[in-house]
Amino acid sequence: MTGGDDPDDELLGRIFLTRVLEPGDEVAGRWVRELGVGEVVRQLRGGGVPLAGVSDKRWAGLLARARWAEPERDLEMARAVGVRFVCPGETEWPGQLDDLGDGRPLGLWVRGRASLRMWALRSVAVVGARACTEYGAHMAVTLACGLAERGWVVVSGGAYGVDGAAHRGALGAGGATVAVLACGVDRPYPRGHAQLIGRIADQGLVVGELPPGDHPTPSRFIVRNRVIAALTRGTVVVEAAHRSGSLVTARAAQRLGRHTMGVPGPATSAQSAGVHELLRGEATLVTDAAEVVELIGDMGELAPVRRGPVLPRDLLAPGIRHVLAALPGRGTATAGEIARGAPTTEDDAIARLYELRALGYVERHGDGWKLTRQAMIALRGGRDGC
């Protein structure tokens, strides 16, 4: 393998580099941009002087990895389990990943039949706490289900908690979902989600930067989150404590100019403290799929107007409502007193009062007028909305 200008050499060169370099290494990304894949491969294979930006110790570690790298074998192993490698610039490559600059993936291992590029065009990330509450799991499932029903692809990280709930919500709605892993896509992690990730591969896509068989590490989870943020049109955080990894995804989305959203939780919940911090900044509060789509979707995809129940008095004309509001809660008032409170003329007030009597809102007592018992109950019931 030379890593030259031939497309096959480019493919094998990038696969070689996924085995040698860590995901998100911007120094190495600059090498690839400035020197080209082939030259970087030759330098690592040749064991010469360190390239710019790394210490002798770091370079020695990369050379040790390079000696063990077998890209042809990695590609053969991947193809045997139905996994392909997608390079930047290919038809299936999602162009929005290029927004990551030198931190862009060298390529992506993809498991599943759908086109990653097409799915990413209409996708939204739903992420959150691994140790989520029942409320968090419920909100993640509901959001993902609603998004899938509206034709949106739900992207998450395949982890326990909110991630798993989001994937299940999309699958349960018969929709599309993508799991972005921090390990080889042939090696489901966490192991308890092996069956779920298998379902995602059958019905959706499983994606990762690391070659077959590679394992996750804490740092790989963190850098994986930038791919979730860049791949999608927006990120929704359902539950997150102050140090949650899902906040890394949200902040990456903000840096990339993507929409960042948060689902509020109880003010007393530590699992929602990180979300509330986001919402105090530039994130947008959302409570359901319709509100998410209104923010990230096409023009005209508006969420329904939120309003309380329509009360009988809401159907009254404004002038009549003003007269009704001028009546005292207890006792009677004269037409003149009611007219001053409305404010309107006494003749107009009298005319409105007779209309209200016909509707059952008021009754006359001599020269005074008072609310009926039914009207007082209705007014008390709707007072919270005043």
Structure tokens belonging to residue 24: 């998100």
pLDDT above 60 (res 41): yes
Structure tokens belonging to residue 186: 């042939």
- Cβ atoms within 10 A of the Cβ of 44, count? 24
**273, 299 Cβ separation under 8 angstroms:** no
Q: Of the ranges 84-98, 248-262, 363-377, which one carries the lowest mean pLDDT score?
A: 363-377
- Cβ atoms within 10 A of the Cβ of 96, count? 18
**132, 164 Cβ separation under 8 angstroms:** no
**274, 280 Cβ separation under 8 angstroms:** no
Residues in contact with 193: Cβ distance below 8 Å, sequence separation at least 6, in sequence order: 158, 159, 160, 164
Cα–Cα distance measured from residue 363 to residue 374, given in angstroms and rounded to the nearest whole number: 11
CATH 3.40.50.450 fits 97-296, yes or no: yes
pTM of the model: 0.79
Tracing tokens 């370079």 back to the chain, one arrives at 59
Percent of the chain with pLDDT over 90: 76
**Domain extent listing, the chain:** 7-71, 97-296, 312-385
The pLDDT assigned to 304 comes to 60
Residue pLDDT, tens place only, 110-166: 999 999 999 999 999 999 999 999 999 999 999 999 999 999 999 999 999 999 999
The CA radius of gyration of the chain, in Å to the nearest whole number, is: 30
Cα–Cα distance measured from residue 280 to residue 82, given in angstroms and rounded to the nearest whole number: 44
Residue pLDDT, tens place only, 238-282: 999 988 889 999 999 999 999 999 999 999 999 999 999 999 998
Structure tokens belonging to residue 247: 């906040």
Task: Indicate the pLDDT class of residue 386, thresholds 50, 70 and 90.
Answer: very low
Answer yes or no: same fold for 97-296 and 312-385: no
Cα–Cα distance measured from residue 279 to residue 284, given in angstroms and rounded to the nearest whole number: 6
Mark residue 145 as left, alpha or beta (left: phi above 0; alpha: psi -120 to 50; beta: remaining).
Answer: alpha
Q: In whole angstroms, what separates CA 160 from the centre of its chain?
A: 16
Give the fold, CATH level 3, of 312-385.
Arc Repressor Mutant, subunit A (1.10.10)
Task: For the sheet with 259-262, list strands across it.
Answer: 83-86, 108-111, 205-208, 177-181, 153-156, 123-127, 234-237, 259-262, 284-285
Burial class (CB in 10 A: 0-12, 13-18, 19+), 371: buried
Residue pLDDT, tens place only, 171-188: 999 999 999 999 999 988
Task: Indicate the pLDDT class of residue 294, thresholds 50, 70 and 90.
Answer: very high
**229, 256 Cβ separation under 8 angstroms:** yes
Helix (H) or strand (E) segment spanning residue 182: none
Instruction: Look at the chain and count its residues.
Output: 386
Sign, CA dihedral 304-308-313-318, equals negative
Task: Indicate the pLDDT class of residue 310, thresholds 50, 70 and 90.
Answer: very low
